[in-house]
Structure 1
Amino acid sequence: MSRIVIFGAGGRGGRRAVAEAVSRGHQVTAAVRDPRRHKDLAGTDVTLVAADVTVADDVAKAAAGHDAAISSVYRADLPALEYYPAAAHALIDGLGEAGVTRLVVVGVGSALEISPGVAFHDQPGWPSAHREFSLGHTAELEVLRASGGELDWVIIAPPPAIIDEHAERTGEYRSGDHRVLPRAEDAGPFSYADLAVALVDEIERPGHSREMVAVDH
């Protein structure tokens, strides 16, 4: 059993990560900006705390005494190119202060490559708002890549498509590297439930280090 702090625990991916970690017997700290909006998260194996992932002191306080961290964060009210790098810097500094050395981050599939040096979001006609969001995640990746110290991080990127919020957990997925994984034409949407499986697997049995990794069916 590990103690895992999950930043962005109130979101779709975060909630699934909380449920997956608890189902495996882990103790979870659910870190959210406004605990009043997410009171239902608190439970026997879940401690609900307030934390802003862009503030290193908040990260350090929430992460103290934990074995690993998951970041599944999102802000609609801030530019992605500012928010995600700021979160990365605060996670690096805050987790370092707390002595937490394993970080698993939820990425986006549109930041994965479709050919050498060309990301999915670089395709002609990709909506500018979606591209800006994806570029924010790319900037987060660059901050993590430039970090030194003891933090062993990995970004888990689901396929560049709508992620199913309601699909049941299968417990099965494929993983690759920094490139979009090929999919069958009739492949259904990847689920948040199986994304959560991949996140917690990387804490229980770390298989990747300091890289972005694609996952899919």
Structure 2
Amino acid sequence: MRITVFGATGNIGQAVVSEAIARGHQVTAVTRDLRKVSKLPADAYAQVGDVNDIQDVIRLSKEQDLVISATRPTAGQEKQLVDIAESLLTGLRETRTRLLLVGGAACLTVPNSNGALVLNDTSLVPPAWKDIAQACFEQYQHCETHENQNWSYASPSALIGAGARTEQFRVSEGELLVDETGKSHISWQDFAIALINEAESATYVGKVFTAGY
């Protein structure tokens, strides 16, 4: 596959680029800062671009099979997530390229809660995380209502960070995954596996899915 990755030098983005290349895909790795290109694998085709610029989205998605966006706004700029979704969905509507958007867990339901959202569970979303969680939820809502429905929304576990590439994780449509201790977590590396699995299978087009242990 020909895959463009926005946010390619971030933690999830780097893991996704490496996983895609390891599976033999052709990867265009997009960063806003040319100085960060050194973080990318030599086999990636590095490009400078801005996911907020619809023309960049169009330019970098032409003749591609898929765009993966793993961008994250800085603190205080959380509302940009909705603008990012709009830019991607509008630009990709023109090129007819499928979108795999990495979001947050806020739109998932809590297990055994009769459909309560992660967004409203203070044990999962403490006050310090509320702004980014709310922005992620609004981003997902924007995808749901957009005329371009050629997308999949990837929600990580409540906690995601450095760890091993175990390949021992589960995937769920719409419900948060927790382990036997009640913890919701996954490594960047295993989440990248789940993302490239979805890239190859297109199982959750127009839906939200998550991966966790």
Q: Same fold (TM over 0.5)?
A: yes
Letter in 1 for 2:138: A
Matches of residues 1-217 of structure 1 in structure 2 within 5 Å? 2-41=1-40, 43-44=42-43, 46-80=44-78, 82-100=79-97, 102-114=98-110, 115-116=113-114, 118-124=116-122, 126-149=125-148, 151-161=149-159, 163-165=160-162, 167-185=163-181, 189-217=185-213
* Aligned-pair identity (%): 27
Contact 1:104 1:154 in 2 (8 A): yes
Contact 1:113 1:119 in 2 (8 A): yes
For residues 2-24 of structure 1, the C-alpha deviation after alignment (integer angstroms, 9 at most, x for no partner) is 11000110100000000000000
User: Counterparts of 2:66 and 2:127 in 1: how far apart (Å)?
Assistant: 34
Relative to 1, partners in 2 of residues 1:99 and 1:78: Cα closer, same or farther, differing over 3 Å?
A: farther
Aligned residues: 210
Contact 1:110 1:159 in 2 (8 A): no
Letter in 1 for 2:193: V
User: Counterparts of 2:135 and 2:184 in 1: how far apart (Å)?
Assistant: 27
User: Counterparts of 2:183 and 2:53 in 1: how far apart (Å)?
Assistant: 39
Contact 1:107 1:137 in 2 (8 A): yes
Gaps of 5+ in 1: none
Letter in 1 for 2:6: F
Gaps of 5+ in 2: none
SS at match of 2:64: coil
User: Counterparts of 1:116 and 1:186 in 2: how far apart (Å)?
Assistant: 17
Relative to 1, partners in 2 of residues 1:188 and 1:103: Cα closer, same or farther, differing over 3 Å?
A: closer
After TM superposition, the structure 1 stretch with the greater mean CA deviation from structure 2, 122-131 or 18-27, is 122-131
Relative to 1, partners in 2 of residues 1:65 and 1:134: Cα closer, same or farther, differing over 3 Å?
A: same
- 1:58 CA drift (Å): 1.1
User: Counterparts of 1:186 and 1:132 in 2: how far apart (Å)?
Assistant: 24
- 1:154 CA drift (Å): 1.1
- 1:98 CA drift (Å): 2.4
CA RMSD of aligned residues (A): 2.0
Contact 1:42 1:48 in 2 (8 A): no
Relative to 1, partners in 2 of residues 1:138 and 1:110: Cα closer, same or farther, differing over 3 Å?
A: closer
- 1:99 CA drift (Å): 2.7
Letter in 1 for 2:104: V
For residues 116-135 of structure 1, the C-alpha deviation after alignment (integer angstroms, 9 at most, x for no partner) is 45322312474333111011
- The TM-score with structure 2 as length reference comes to 0.90
User: Counterparts of 2:183 and 2:143 in 1: how far apart (Å)?
Assistant: 32
